Amino acid sequence: MKLHSLITLVFLSLWQVTIAAPVNLLTLGNLTKPSDDPFYTPKDGYEKLKLGEVINYRKVTHKIGIVAFEEKVQAVYQFLVRSEDSHKQPNAIVTTVIIPHNADTSKILSYQVAVDAPNVDCAPSYALQLGSDPGTWITTQVEQLLSEAGLYEGWIVVIPDFLGPKATFAAGYQAAYATLNSLKAVVASGDITGVDPKAQIALWGYSGGSQPSAWGAALAPTYAPDLNIIGAAVGGILIAPKHIANYTVGGFFAGLIINAINGLGNEYPELKKYAQDNIYPDVETEFFAPAHECLVESILRTPWTSWDQLTPLGVDIMDSPVVDNVTGINNLLNLNANPKVPLFFYNSKNDEIIPPTDADELYQKWCDLGTSIEYRQDSLSEHITQAIVGSGDAFVWLKDRFNGVQQTGCKKIESTTNLFNFNAVSGLSSIVTDALETILEFQIGPSSPSQHPVPTNVTITHVGNSSASSTSSTSTSSSTSNSFLGSIISAIF
């Protein structure tokens, strides 16, 4: 068995152990799932609101965190935002706004999570909270290790439910519109969050989270020109659904294809009907089961599935006019737009989910159109490990954008691994240090106030109603720990 296959199986086995753990180890309170939560349903007449307007908002009273470890941030809000689907029909999406202690209100990191499931109950706004169904948080809370690094920098982190109320996994326009309208709402929320209306914005996403990030960066100049987006880091890039389906079918991650067909079918009814009419009757229940599952459960249920097991058409089903049309619309290579801000790509040549040639082609196309891209590709990792291996570089690249470092032109760097270079080591050192501080229950954020603090006229209630004395004590400990842990981690790396 190849090393990367072994790593993948170990990761998924750990997930199985986790969801089998006693519920009381992970549940801190009863959470209402999005499908049963009235907050997710917009009020009558919301369609008349402008794109990006806040329909409703609330402070999150449940703790957020990573597995069983609380993230001690200053505040968390959820906004219900007026957006639209791929067909420009009105909808409402929820976005989560996380404010660290000593926040810099002039910097926003919009982190798009790889939800990869056609089920609204897998939404990050729910999965981020401790006590959510373990099946929902395995990707969201683990990925929070990455976005959390931004919180420690003082950045306000925004995590949108970009799949929308229909859970349209793999639908590019829906994902981009939701991401951009989420950001419109956040930069206009100064009276609630203290966010600077001219705040700099960076996008970050890996795998399923790369789609809204890349599409959002490409569509922003025309769809949301007032947003001050300064760059986007995307890895394991979901570019062409049809290419991915043909590349992944029959492999361990074949369940992703079924999830994507279900997700696109939620957005394009003609595709759902075509699937219903052409799959074997005895697999119909299993084929549409992802509507009630999240990512890892779907993958573990249908590994190594082939087209011949699903449909009498076999592989020819991918060449039907309906499938070809829907996947073509959602192929980023076919989008008649390109980002006007710098990008960072990180991918693996051994990716067993995303065809490496897709990223190469997108890189060349966008570079030819004038987009500046730094592209790092390694030959040792696979899809899951690249999410970790490439994150250090991505994080440092994002810091450079916020610090005003200029990037021009295009460059592609191929290496054995993206892990061993100065930026990768520095970035991963920060990510690991921050994770350890969270485990040790230090408050999250810089140790000193930023030059762009939350305005004094904005009142933010601390998560968990922390007292002033405990906040002050934690702040001192956090400052000390940051220096100490940082030294240890830097020495290890």
How far apart are the C-alpha atoms of 336 and 199, rounded to whole Å? 27
CB 407: neighbour CB atoms within 10 A?
Answer: 17
The per-residue b/e assignment along 8-33, b for 16 or more CB within 10 angstroms, e otherwise, is beeebeebeebeeeeeeebebeebeb
Catalytically active residues, by annotation:
207, 351, 383
HEC assignment per residue over the chain: CCHHHHHHHHHHHHHHHHHCCCHHHHCCCCCCCHHHCHHHCCCCCHHHCCCCCEEEEEECCCCEEECCEECECCEEEEEEEEEECCCCCEEEEEEEEEECCCCEEEEEEEEECCCCCCCHHHCHHHHCECCCCHHHHHHHHHHHHHHHHHHHCCEEEEEECCCCCCCCCCCHHHHHHHHHHHHHHHHCCHHHHCCCCCCEEEEEEEHHHHHHHHHHHHHHHHHCCCCEEEEEEEECCCCCHHHHHHHHCCCCCCHHHHHHHHHHHHHCHHHHHHHHHHCCHHHHHHHCHHHHCCHHHHHHHCCCCCHHHHCCCHHHHHHCHHHHHHHHHCCHHHCCCCCCCCEEEEEECCCCCCCHHHHHHHHHHHHHCCCCEEEEEECCCCHHHHHHHCHHHHHHHHHHHHCCCCCCCEEEEEECCCCCCHHHHHHHHHHHHHHHHHHCCCECCCCCCCCCCCCCCCCCCCHHHCCHHHHHHHHHHHHHHHHHHHHHHHHHC
Q: Judge whether 214 and 237 are in contact, CB under 8 Å.
A: yes
How far apart are the C-alpha atoms of 5 and 8, rounded to whole Å? 5
How far apart are the C-alpha atoms of 293 and 465, rounded to whole Å? 34
